[in-house]
Amino acid sequence: MGIAITGWGTALPDKVVTNADLEVRLDTSDQWIVDRTGIRERRVGGTTSALAIEACERALVRAGRSGDDVGLVVLATTTPDQTIPASSASIHHALGCRGGAFDLNAACAGFVYALVTVDALLQKGGGRALVVGTDTLSRVTDHDDRSTAILFGDGSGAVLLDAEAGGAGPLVLGADLGVDGSAAGLLFAEVGGTIQMEGREVFRRAVRAEIDSITKVLDTCGITPDDLALFVPHQANVRIIDAVNERLGFPSERTALVLERTGNTSAASIPLALCEAADAGRLRDGDLVLLSGFGAGMTWASAVIRWGTAAPAR
Ligand code: ACO
């Protein structure tokens, strides 16, 4: 069954926190943050459900659909609004969707995990699904810890997958999903606690995991980086993205970046960058797009998708 992305949308909180704002209350500097991460500002505020609903509404408007046309909502998040129930339940209700809804926690790799899962479900059962990556990491950040407080922001990005839109092939042409639970202690937050991270080790593992995972996916699809119109990496640190690009021989001009303005928004970062690229007219029907993320778990996920509202057969 053909699956296509027919709608997409984003949401960011209004409140902007610049590096200059952080300089006032932390022992840090704009220059250190920009040099070591590439981040200049981040957006902070709101709830996971409210941001996700806003992004999903925009995706539905773009596709000319309403919630009633949607039979599944999958929210990728590590920061649900409550422990019980899943935040996807309130998103599903607010949008007036049909069918089911569930949350998926694969940290910063969550959106790719969700997209791959939903593409497979729609291929079997048809219909339409909203896949939304949303995190409000500011709620689990220790704002006095300069090693993490400078990194994180809040946001949401959503896509509408449609098996009825006339696409002739699957959306996902190849994927690699992985996790290494032995490294869970490198990046975690206890229930009710804040994020603890061994940044240097996470950085090292992130570069290695992304390169290995992307290489596997490109091999599976029988393509090279030259065949890709766009690379949409998880936006954690521009030095991680540069290291991956350098190793793959992929040009930075064909890489989607929002990190400078959003910080690390975890599960939202890949859909935010993908949606902004689509809004900017950087994607055309049939383009091959590489998505790749890594995060707490440690999880990683890479996928090559064929962009287009009426995807041609493989
Ligand atoms: N301002 C100034 N100095 C700082 C700051 C800061 N905000 N933070 C740390 N430093 C200092 C340290 O104290 C250290 O000082 P020392 O040399 O005197 O001991 C020095 O800068 C170097 O510290 P490192 O931790 O080695 O700095 P590094 O270059 O590794 O950058 C960073 C830190 C930005 C956190 C980086 O390691 C990183 O990006 N790691 C990966 C983060 C990531 O990708 N997370 C995964 C996803 S998140 C998720 O899943 C929710």
Contact 306, 287 (CB under 8 A): yes
pLDDT at res. 169: 80
Domain CATH code at residue 219: 3.40.47.10
Which domain, by its residues, includes 18?
4-162
Of 36, 111, 152, 198, the one to substitute when testing ligand 1's pocket (max ligand atoms within 8 A of C-beta) is 36
**Cβ of 237 less than 6 Å from ligand 1:** yes
Contact 121, 172 (CB under 8 A): no
Model pLDDT for residues 211-256, shown as the tens digit of each residue: 999 999 999 999 999 999 999 999 999 999 999 999 999 999 999 9
Catalytic residue IDs? 108, 234, 264
Atom of ligand 1 nearest to the CA of 296: 50
User: Can you tell me whether residue 197 is helix, strand or coil?
Assistant: strand
Answer yes or no: is 313 within a domain: no
CA 24 distance to own-chain centroid: 30
How many other CB atoms sit within 10 Å of the CB of residue 50?
20
Question: Buried (b) or exposed (e) across 103-127, using 16+ Cβ within 10 A?
Answer: bbbbbbbbbbbbbbbbbebbbeeeb
pTM above 0.85, yes or no: yes
**Cβ of 296 less than 6 Å from ligand 1:** yes
Compute, in angstroms, the gap from residue 148 CA to the centroid of ligand 1.
7
Task: Residue 113: name the closest of 271, 313, 285, 282 by CA.
Answer: 271
Domain count of the fold of the chain: 2
The closest residue, in CA terms, to atom 22 on ligand 1 is: 200
Would you call 263 exposed, middle or buried from its count of C-beta atoms within 10 A (0-12, 13-18, 19+)? Answer: buried
Contact 160, 293 (CB under 8 A): no
68 lies in the same domain as 143: yes
Average pLDDT, the chain: 96
178 lies in the same domain as 68: no
Domain endpoint, select from 162, 197, 220: 162
192 lies in the same domain as 136: no
pLDDT at res. 312: 40
